[in-house]
Amino acid sequence: MANKKGKKYLEIAKLVEQGRLYEVKEALELVKKTRTANFVETVEIALRLGVDPRHADQQVRGTVVLPHGTGKTVKILAITSGANIEKALEAGADYAGAEEYIEKIQQGWFDFDIVIATPDMMPKLGRLGRVLGTKGLMPNPKSGTVTPDIATAVSEFKKGKLAFRVDKLGSIHAPIGKADFSEEALLENFTAFINEIVRLKPSASKGQYLRTVAVSLTMGPGVKMDPVLVAKNA
């Protein structure tokens, strides 16, 4: 079935010049004008990188603390034990514990956005690998979600720390703010995100690294940027 767009979307889409690659500031100004929803939409960035994720040495994965956060309140589940349970809760975790939450997940409970675990809990989480992995929720040291210092990790993710990873198509999608953020705040978040992506460029990546860069609102059209200019300013 064809994906039919509403009249409002089609009118807004006219603001975006087809085939044009915008400068960063211009694109961020424009994307704020493409609001169509009756809720505060998320500003999302979509990148396609010059990497082949099938090779381990071309994986792009990491975390970045956005200066102004994502604008989204994330629910955090801390899988830990002993005194760390109280530390995680004091740091802002919505849920903290061990076996009881592992069992709840096995029964289909997913009322959380991020899972952070202490290293000693990873063997127990192993049996949830398939369930959490398919949803991109499995804790991993590279994304900062497996750590002995669970209080700091919980606090950082609550403040807007963002974990990202390249998918099998060589793309990365991530939220960088909300439609009601100022253009300055969006620019600072965008710059922090791109700088980290460029810093993580694998040495095995050949040719142009940033292939395509676009921003959009949750319900809006994509605004493509000039990847060469984006890379130059990173």
With a pLDDT cut of 70, the percent of the chain lying above it is: 98
Q: What is the pLDDT of residue 73?
A: 87
Q: Give dist(CA 100, CA 37) in Å, integer.
A: 39
Q: What is the mean pLDDT of residues 206-229?
A: 94
Q: What is the pLDDT of residue 5?
A: 67
With a pLDDT cut of 90, the percent of the chain lying above it is: 75
SS (H, E, C) 143-161: HCCECCCHHHHHHHHHHCE
**Range name among 87-101, 125-139, 144-158 with the lowest pLDDT average:** 125-139
Q: What is the pLDDT of residue 1?
A: 37
Closest CA to 32 of 190, 220, 211, 188: 220
Q: What is the pLDDT of residue 179?
A: 95
CB distance 197 to 47 below 8 Å: yes
pTM of structure: 0.80
**pLDDT higher than threshold 60 for residue 149:** yes
Q: What is the mean pLDDT of residues 41-61?
A: 94
Q: What is the mean pLDDT of residues 37-43?
A: 92
pLDDT in tens, 167-210: 999 999 999 999 999 999 999 999 999 999 999 999 999 899 99
CB distance 40 to 179 below 8 Å: yes
Q: What is the pLDDT of residue 4?
A: 57
Backbone angles phi, psi at 206, to 5 degrees: -110, 155
In the structure, what pLDDT confidence band is assigned to residue 2 with cuts at 50, 70 and 90? very low
Backbone angles phi, psi at 207, to 5 degrees: 75, -155
Kindly calculate the radius of gyration of the chain based on its CA atoms and give it in whole angstroms. Answer: 19
**b/e per residue, 66-76, with b = 16+ CB within 10 A?**
bebbbbeebeb
Q: Give dist(CA 207, CA 194) in Å, integer.
A: 18
pLDDT in tens, 65-108: 999 999 988 999 999 999 999 999 999 999 999 999 999 999 99
Q: What's the CA dihedral at 42, 63, 69, 116 to 10 degrees?
A: 100
